[in-house]
Amino acid sequence: MKKIIKDNRKKTKDVHTLEQDKKDDFKLTKNTRFFLYVLGGILCLVSAILLFINIRPHTRTEEVVVNSYNITTGASYRVHLKENNVFEEEFLEEGRVYPSAITDFINIDFKSELAMTNALSISGDYIIRAVLEGYQTGKDEEKVPVYEKIYPIIEGRVIESVTSSSSINESLSIDRAAYRNYAQEIENALGGETGKDFYVELSGKYIVDGEEKPFSYRIDIPINNDKFYEIRKAEPVEDSGDIKESNLVNVMPAFSSYAIFILLLFVAAGILVFVRFFTANMEGKELEQKKLSELMRKYGSRMVCIENLPDISQKSEIRVKSITDLIELADEIREPVLYIEGEKELPKDGKIYILSKDYIYFFESKV
């Protein structure tokens, strides 16, 4: 007998504990719980799919530097003088002012060098030419071309070979007087004098493993009738770069690229666990009060709270289907919407009224 009583007490305690746990749960409406279930499920599914896609190794095209090149092109010159009793030296070096009267010719040494990090197939071609240009000065002192005459001097080739370096070295002599005479002949044919530019240029290309690398360099030489002249040349021209190959490489994704999906997965799981184990359906009185609270938030400003109803025994009662119908009816018959305050300042028994001369219209909120 004692054992039976003891077992009954244990069962009573278990039931009490279960009821207490239920009281501690967050109370939500069925619609809210259903929405949270759907939200958690969708978020969980999407996060899992995106995590699976982003966590997998993938391949990508990556450009790898396999070689580097550097091309340097420049020139040096010296002015050879005619016999004279002013200068003892035979040549005048760069950067001076030269007298036209005793200039014999100009000696130019062109040089172009190609240097590679690793040996590759190298070939190429080049040309040295003298270019005579005639022009007139237009608006804003701009040169307007009149003619251009090109005089090829040297053509050459770079013999193909597998090497890490190659160079071009060419020397030539330029007679200023000869090209001044060419310009005079052209002007005689044109019937007028023009401004004149004259330069000697080395241009060409290296072919590195099938890819062309162009280069050029020029020296400007005045051929006018001035008593003295200067030769203009720029600093050596450099061109450098990398030769790349495209390779497919396997890439392991970085944690940062999929960390957000792990976080979303935990959030989704947290939502599902919370709804399943820490919430309960709102029922009975709680659900009724919840619905009444929502109704009052929406329509409370249209209602009047009274302490009690007058004698309505002589009036017929008419139940209205919805609160919106009741509000519209009140507007139509121009009567106030009434309620008696009950628990938590909500309509007593969930009823809301309109009193007219012959009828009492009411809406009753039910779970």
Q: What is the pLDDT of residues 146-177, one digit of tens each?
A: 999 999 999 999 999 999 999 999 999 999 99
- The region, left, alpha or beta by phi > 0 then psi within -120 to 50, assigned to residue 19 is alpha
Interval 122-140 mean pLDDT: 93
Query: What is the C-alpha separation between 282 and 274, in angstroms, rounded?
Result: 15
Whole-angstrom distance, CA of residue 177 vs CA of residue 297: 105
Q: Which residues contact 306 (CB under 8 A, 6 or more apart)?
A: 338, 339, 340
Q: What is the pLDDT of residue 319?
A: 87
Residue-level pLDDT at 310: 79
Range name among 37-41, 60-64, 266-270 with the lowest pLDDT average: 60-64
Q: Phi, psi (5° rounding) for residue 342?
A: -115, -145
pLDDT of residue 2: 40
- Position 15 scores a pLDDT of 38
**How many C-beta neighbours within 10 Å does residue 258 have?**
17
Distant-in-sequence, close-in-space partners of 8: CB < 8 Å, separation ≥ 6: none
Residue 333: per-residue pLDDT = 83
Residue 7: pLDDT band by 50, 70, 90 thresholds? very low
Contact of 199 with 218, CB cutoff 8 Å: yes
Do residues 213 and 20 touch, judged by C-beta distance below 8 A?
Answer: no
Q: Which of 61-65, 192-196, 215-219 has the lowest mean pLDDT?
A: 61-65
Please say if the pLDDT value at position 303 is more than 70.
yes
What residue type is 140 in one-letter code? D
**Six-digit token pair at 356?**
């007219």
| Separation CA 239–CA 214 (nearest Å) | 9
Q: Pairing mode, if any, of strands 351-355 and 359-364?
A: antiparallel
Confidence of residue 25 (pLDDT cuts 50, 70, 90): low
CB 252 within 8 A of CB 57: yes
Higher per-residue confidence, 202 vs 27: 202
- Which position has the higher pLDDT, 27 or 146? 146
Predicted confidence (pLDDT) per residue in 259-288, tens digit? 888 898 889 888 888 888 877 666 555 656
- What is residue 201's predicted lDDT score, i.e. its pLDDT? 97
Flag whether pLDDT at 9 surpasses 70.
no
Q: Give residue-wise pLDDT tens across range 334-367.
A: 888 888 887 777 788 778 888 888 888 888 776 4
What backbone phi and psi angles, to 5 degrees, belong to 278? -125, 10
Mean pLDDT, the chain, rounded, equals 84
Q: Decide if pLDDT at 253 tops 90.
A: no
pLDDT confidence band for 128 (50 / 70 / 90)? very high
